[in-house]
Structure 1
């Protein structure tokens, strides 16, 4: 009788363990970035929340162009319109980010990257190597402070017009 009770208790614990794993697996699957493709170019975008940040760090080596978007005050930015054109001026990829990271897999070569948030566009030229990768970081003035006039010289954190 003791043996059957012990076996029943172990079976219950095992079933509880399986239920916990099954309940958590959708959350784990959502944190892994899902690659998208446009014009034959594979990319991932996102990075909202600690789980996604960790997933992007794990996936970084699979992409040879890694971009990060933030304000100069250190806040990550999302909804950035990014356009990649080849050195010859041919459009390669146009996408809006879903978080502060955009990782792209491109053929080696020269590219021009345009990144726009609200009304400000930053443009960079980059050489994507045949081996390894390139990292780009875009920083803008804090979007909540854009257009704030500086009234006095001694005011802390006053934005310049």
Structure 2
């Protein structure tokens, strides 16, 4: 949108989306839903993001309503293990790739032609054979925060299981890539 001196948009992008969702008669309701100063989660002319949650609550597990920011999907918890998975969209993919170095274990799931895979069943067992994580990846990247040690990763996609053994060090990141 081209802006002229002393001109400002009538509605922020978030208000416009809410108006369209509610119908034109809902314009007043959409504007009332905006926080003081408007622009809930929308970009201003400088590209600065607002800090309101748009697209979900902070308790959902989608990237739209997460509290992590920067395109990162919501961090999940299973027992003592924290993990995050996704990367289907470009923002999530870039965010997960950038975050890999700060997570002890990084997993990637692709097809033979390097296409990204989602819905990969992942089970992580420790050196004693006990399951420490049993979940389904929401995209081609999964980052896992586990204690240092030796683990076996069982990954299954479309009925085909792959296995990899990884050693998570106390100061480094272990990586495993699975190709179907």
The answer to whether the superposition gives a TM-score over 0.5 is yes
- Judge which range, 21-30 or 99-108, deviates more: 21-30
Larger Rg: 1
Looking at structure 1, the residues matched to 173 and 150 of structure 2 have their Cα atoms a distance apart, in angstroms, of 13
Aligned to 1:120: 160
Pair 16,139 (structure 1): closer, same or farther in 2 beyond 3 Å: same
Looking at structure 1, the residues matched to 170 and 133 of structure 2 have their Cα atoms a distance apart, in angstroms, of 19
Aligned to 1:80: 120
Aligned to 1:108: 148
Looking at structure 2, the residues matched to 22 and 122 of structure 1 have their Cα atoms a distance apart, in angstroms, of 41
Aligned to 2:42: 23
Q: Alignment partner of 1:59: what SS?
A: helix
CA RMSD of aligned residues (A): 2.5
Looking at structure 2, the residues matched to 14 and 63 of structure 1 have their Cα atoms a distance apart, in angstroms, of 41
Aligned to 2:111: 71
Greater RCO, CA 8 A, separation 6+: 1
Aligned to 1:143: none
Pair 13,96 (structure 1): closer, same or farther in 2 beyond 3 Å: same
Q: TM-score, normalization: structure 2?
A: 0.65
Q: Is residue 2:129 matched to residue 1:56?
A: no
Give 1:23 deviation, angstroms.
Answer: 2.4
Looking at structure 1, the residues matched to 98 and 115 of structure 2 have their Cα atoms a distance apart, in angstroms, of 22
Q: Work out whether residues 109 and 140 of structure 2, in 8 Å CA contact, stay in contact via their aligned partners in 1.
A: yes
Looking at structure 2, the residues matched to 56 and 15 of structure 1 have their Cα atoms a distance apart, in angstroms, of 35
Give 1:61 deviation, angstroms.
Answer: 2.1
Give 1:19 deviation, angstroms.
Answer: 5.2
Query: For this pair of structures, how many residues does the alignment match?
Result: 131
- Judge which range, 51-60 or 12-21, deviates more: 12-21
Unaligned runs of 5+ in 2: 13-36, 44-48, 55-63
Looking at structure 2, the residues matched to 116 and 57 of structure 1 have their Cα atoms a distance apart, in angstroms, of 22
